[in-house]
Structure 1
Amino acid sequence: MRDRLTDERHVRNWSQKTVAEYLYISEVYVRKLEKGTRNPGRELMLKFEKLYSVSAKELFPDLFEVKFDTKCIKGNSA
């Protein structure tokens, strides 16, 4: 869950519907963004940054995580 995203909305006492209206997106989409089941595009991230005056990295930290995959796939040498 994207806690900072929901916290910023709660601090302002806004409903998901209010945020959706400000950003011209659906209320369902706001809910999915907050739960982390959907990811915003770059343009929408910038709109959230402007709406809340908080960086996208803080609002959507899961999208900016750097993960290193240390597992190697073992292949057959033919």
Structure 2
Amino acid sequence: MNLRERLVAERLKRNLTQKQVADMLSISEVYVRKIEKSQRNPGRETMLKFESIYGIPDRKLFPDLFRVSIDTKRINII
């Protein structure tokens, strides 16, 4: 399951192509595709641009980047 399904769903809901989104964000179509597939992570500025065009908080568009992970394993130093 792609963690960025909401990002894709919002684009499709607006009948936008990846090329149109790329043009709106001033980034490449390939980069949009990789962001949607979680193969690349956008910078903060790009996340805010996505938030602006979709009207959805970045935390909902990119939940994988905001997940809090608490590491409970420790290295015991003797």
State the TM-score, normalizing by the size of structure 1: 0.91
Q: Could you tell me how far apart the structure 2 residues matched to 1:72 and 1:34 are?
A: 34
- Aligned residue number for residue 16 of structure 1: 18
- Aligned residue number for residue 70 of structure 1: 72
* Percent identical residues: 59
Aligned residue runs from structure 1 range 25-64, under 5 A:
25-64=27-66
Shift of 1:74: 3.7
Alignment gaps of 5+ in structure 1:
none
C-alpha deviations, 1:33-77, integer Å up to 9, x for none? 0011111111111101100000000000001100011111244x3
- Aligned residue number for residue 4 of structure 1: 6
Query: Which structure has the bigger radius of gyration?
Result: 1
State the TM-score, normalizing by the size of structure 2: 0.91
Alignment gaps of 5+ in structure 2:
none
Classify the secondary structure of the residue corresponding to 1:25.
Answer: coil
RMSD: 0.9
Q: Could you tell me how far apart the structure 2 residues matched to 1:69 and 1:38 are?
A: 24
Q: Could you tell me how far apart the structure 2 residues matched to 1:74 and 1:31 are?
A: 43
Tell me which amino acid in the other structure corresponds to 2:55.
Answer: S
